[in-house]
Structure 1
Amino acid sequence: MPEYQTLLVEQHASVAHVQINRPEKINAMNALFWEEIIAAFDWIDQTDSVRVVVVSGAGKHFSAGIDLMMLAGASHKMTTDIGRNAEIIRRNVLRLQASFNAVDQCRKPVIAAIHGYCIGGAIDLISACDMRYSTADAHFSIKEIDMGMAADVGTLQRLPHLIGDGMMRELAYTGRAFDGNEAAAMGLVNSIQPDHEKLMSSVMAIANEIASKSPLAIRGTKEMIRYSRDHSVEDGLNYIATWNAAMLQSEDMKLAMAAHMAKKTAEFAD
């Protein structure tokens, strides 16, 4: 298993646990983090024994978002030419977007377990996950507006599909903080737990339940959900018909049907 400087990646049976591992910096996302998250999710995608991913933060917080020292360092690359500056900034933003696209496009379900701060870039990250769970006292904020900028790594594009357009606009325009209770009420998180220990126990139980299902069925389900988010109903129906023309012939379906009839638990290959 690869080792990282900003992440702690462990595999527990069929579940990969990815922790942002800079607790002394409130898990702020430095330059290396953005590279390592791509590498970690590439490993996850290519490792068939991993069926589900849990993303959390080491220490007292999930993440305080992008490391401001990284932004300060980027300013040193600026020139006197506006066009060239714009090209440099655009390339950098696209590179950062690719990091969370890797999470969104991962073949396996990704579950975010959130406690403490979940600010700025951390909202971009959890928006790219399949599901989100938090502690009641978690602290959320789309903080970019208070930095004099618009969020540019996925929050404004993905969050409206999770909490609705109006609520997303309120949070993005004001940058106001909200806790886990409000996050659950608006549908950003599926449920809340009273503390970090119970949060991780609950999330791991959900991850293990998903991991027990047919990997092909889970793969197809995630692919269809992602595709339908960005396409019409007609496009989505056509795609699932084509997809299942192959997948309905898999051994997994035969095993699942037989186990269901016999009231037993099916064991699926990776």
Structure 2
Amino acid sequence: MSESKYYLVEKKGHVAWVWFNRADKMNAMNPDAWIDSPAVFKELDEDPEIRVIVVAGKGGSFCAGIDLIGMVGAMPELMENEQKGGLKWKLLKKIYPLQETMSAMEKCRKPVIAAVHGACIGAGLDFVTACDIRLCSQDATFCLKEAAVGFVADVGVLQRLPLIVGQGVTREMAYTAKTIDAQRALGVNLVSEVFDDADALFEGAQAMADVIAANPPIAVQASKDVLNHSIEGSVNEGLKYVASISSNIIPSHDLIEAFTAFAEKRKPVFTGK
């Protein structure tokens, strides 16, 4: 397995655990997280011993979302005031690889289970909606955060979440950027099961993975392929469209204000510019 600076991969028989391994930053997704994901899941896809993958987070939370400060260096276009065509073209070409970070789980032939405890915010929610099955602990919270910081969510959640919870709940989460708890997540089918705590969650995820792994791999993988085929057109077209929209609305004064307020630890004041 190729070394990753962000992900920790552990194999338990036919099950691979992919850990978000940046606990000191609540597993916020820095450039390494975005770059390494496709290679990690491609290698697990090609590993004949692995039949199921579980994704989880080290420390107190699953994922606090995008590392805003860390990503500025990788995407300086976000902070440019000059909104010229050349800038938009550069930004558009940078969005497509970020989408692949999330699509990697969907493209992997092996079923991927997300085991969520603590916070699952922004990019973390993007990640789990690209997984096949979502489980969580009682302390789990979910937030589609992008609108609150001046972004349109552009790496897949707006395409995948409606297929899981429906249009109404997706629009509520996208427009309000509010946090929902584990019981609401269960009620809207975002998660399949809620466990008492993280330990019980990880045991439950392993148990479900073991059940899946005991089935004929070719039948399980063929089932995933057929299910993906039924939605891939709408997801792929949606990803291309949102990349174009995203590159057109950023950078904005509101986005720069969100970054500035975050750095200054104050509430942002948005003007719609």
Question: TM range, normalised to the smaller chain?
Answer: 0.7 to 0.9
- Structure 1 143/70 Cα, relative in aligned 2: closer, same or farther at 3 Å? same
The reply to whether residue 9 of structure 1 matches residue 9 of structure 2 is yes
**1:108 matched to which residue of 2?**
110
**2:91 matched to which residue of 1?**
89
- Structure 1 36/231 Cα, relative in aligned 2: closer, same or farther at 3 Å? closer
Question: CA contact under 8 A between 1:79 and 1:85: conserved in structure 2?
Answer: no
Give the length in aligned residue pairs.
232
Provide, for residues 40-61 of structure 1, a one-character-per-residue CA deviation record: whole Å limited to 9, x for no partner: 1011011011000000000100
Distance across 1 between alignment mates of 2:233 and 2:94 = 28
Which structure has the larger Rg over C-alpha atoms? 1
What's the RMSD between the two structures over aligned residues?
1.5
- Structure 1 9/188 Cα, relative in aligned 2: closer, same or farther at 3 Å? same
Provide, for residues 167-193 of structure 1, a one-character-per-residue CA deviation record: whole Å limited to 9, x for no partner: 100010000101111100000000100
- Structure 1 75/95 Cα, relative in aligned 2: closer, same or farther at 3 Å? closer
Any unmatched runs of 5+ in structure 2? 235-273
The reply to whether residue 132 of structure 1 matches residue 134 of structure 2 is yes
**1:218 matched to which residue of 2?**
220
**2:119 matched to which residue of 1?**
117
Distance across 2 between alignment mates of 1:110 and 1:8 = 15
Provide, for residues 174-225 of structure 1, a one-character-per-residue CA deviation record: whole Å limited to 9, x for no partner: 0010111110000000010010000000010000110011010011100011
**1:189 matched to which residue of 2?**
191
Distance across 1 between alignment mates of 2:198 and 2:233 = 37
Give the structure-1-normalised TM-score.
0.83
Letter of the 1:15 counterpart: V
**2:101 matched to which residue of 1?**
99
- Structure 1 221/76 Cα, relative in aligned 2: closer, same or farther at 3 Å? closer
Letter of the 2:157 counterpart: T
Compute the displacement of 1:228 (Å): 1.4
Name which of structure 1's ranges 69-78 and 175-184 shifts more when overlaid on structure 2: 69-78
Q: Secondary structure at 1:203's aligned position in 2?
A: helix
Give the structure-2-normalised TM-score.
0.82
Letter of the 1:128 counterpart: A
The reply to whether residue 57 of structure 1 matches residue 57 of structure 2 is yes
Where do 4+ consecutive residues of structure 1 move more than 6 Å? none
Compute the displacement of 1:81 (Å): 6.3
Distance across 2 between alignment mates of 1:180 and 1:76 = 36
Letter of the 2:150 counterpart: G
Q: Percent identity?
A: 40
Distance across 2 between alignment mates of 1:224 and 1:76 = 40
The structure showing larger relative contact order (alpha-carbon pairs under 8 Å, at least 6 residues apart) is: 2
1:155 to 157, 161, 184: 157
**2:68 matched to which residue of 1?**
68
Provide, for residues 129-161 of structure 1, a one-character-per-residue CA deviation record: whole Å limited to 9, x for no partner: 000000112111000010011111101000000
Compute the displacement of 1:75 (Å): 5.4
Compute the displacement of 1:126 (Å): 0.3
* Equivalences for residues 195-214 of structure 1 within 5 A: 195-214=197-216
